[in-house]
Amino acid sequence: MRFDSYQAPISQLITYGQPKPNQGPDDWPNYISELKLDSEHIPDLLRLVLDPAVAQTPSNHVEVWASLHAWRSLGQLRAQDAIDPLLKLLGNEADDWVTDEIPWVYALIGPAAIPALAKYLKSSSKDAWGRMTTVSCLRAIAELHQPAARQECIVVMTTQLAEYRRNPPELNGLLIAELIELKASTAAATIEQAYKTGCVDELMAGTWPACQVSLGLKAPGDFPEEAFNPQMPPELEEIKRLGKLGDMLAASEPPTSLSDAFPEQPLPTSKGFGNNGKRSGKSHKK
């Protein structure tokens, strides 16, 4: 990738290279101080973030990380002009770093980003992956700007969860998981209704009894232990069962009955985001 069209200090972002994974804003370099960035650099930073040449750069080239440092810089600049353009990054399942870091970028920009994120989240025409990322953006804003923005973000998320029949189950699951993280007890009735209709991916959010315990509405002892075992989506259940059968056949231990081949063993719950240090791979874990 050629950086001839970028002048200093923007072109210097290439020198930062690959960052350590799973860092928060407190761990990022102070780009504003180190590169003397200010509002006049916002247009070029946005151009670098959205430059298609970056996406086409081989992952083993140092240039591929320049866009990441550019969006971090926009966050540190509290660049409200970046709110709408950055939405173009959402929905990219091939880039863990977008999923992990863009929520923090929006959090740094602040509550001014909430209306645009709410609009994106509401749009059923948008990619489900992108809509899920906006949920994480809202949670990050709520956490960084509480108490001022916390309730506004909870209202947006709860309002979208109320559309549980129209939402993908995994979106409902993530909405619930993030509301639980925000201790949004005001959303309990809406969460309960989503569970009652079977519209929740429990691998994202856990079970309704688990949610009640997390919100402080119930104690663990109020439920039998099995009440905390999430139900797998049918397609994952089938994959798991076929995999179990294949393992048994490969080991020359054919099952003597269907119950032997398909034992009930719920998978552990998992939610949140993470990356593997590469500019690729999914991170909405299930």
Q: What are the tens digits of pLDDT across the range 95-144? A: 889 999 999 999 999 999 999 999 999 999 999 999 999 999 999 999 99
Tokens for 7? 């002048």
Q: Summarize the confidence of residues 191-199 as an average pLDDT.
A: 96
pLDDT of residue 242: 63
Task: Output helix, strand, coil percentages for the chain, rounded to the nearest 5.
Answer: 60, 0, 40
- Are the C-beta atoms of 262 and 241 separated by less than 8 Å? yes
Could you give the CA distance from residue 284 to residue 100 in angstroms, rounded to a whole number?
9
Of 97, 34, 127, residue with least CA distance to 273: 97
Report how far residue 91's alpha carbon sits from residue 94's, in angstroms, rounded to the nearest whole number: 9
Q: What's the gap between Cα 210 and its chain centre?
A: 21
What's this model's pTM, rounded to 2 decimal places? 0.81
The predicted structure's pLDDT at residue 264:
44
- Report which of 59, 63, 50 is spatially closest to residue 90, judged by C-alpha positions: 50
- Mean pLDDT, to the nearest integer, of 15-27? 90
C-alpha of 88 from chain center: 15
Instruction: Sketch the domain layout of the chain as residue ranges.
Output: 1-77, 93-231+266-286
How many angstroms separate the most distant Cα atoms in the chain? 72
Question: pLDDT confidence of 245, banded at 50, 70, 90?
Answer: low
Backbone angles phi, psi at 282, to 5 degrees: -90, 150
Q: Express each pLDDT in 29-63 by its tens digit.
A: 999 999 999 999 999 999 999 998 877 787 778 88
Quote the distance between the C-alpha of residue 161 and its chain's center.
16
pLDDT for 282 beyond 60? no
CB atoms within 10 A of CB 250: 8
As a whole number of angstroms, the distance between CA 194 and CA 173 comes to: 9
Mean pLDDT over 239-258 rounds to 55
Statement: residue 65 has pLDDT above 60: yes
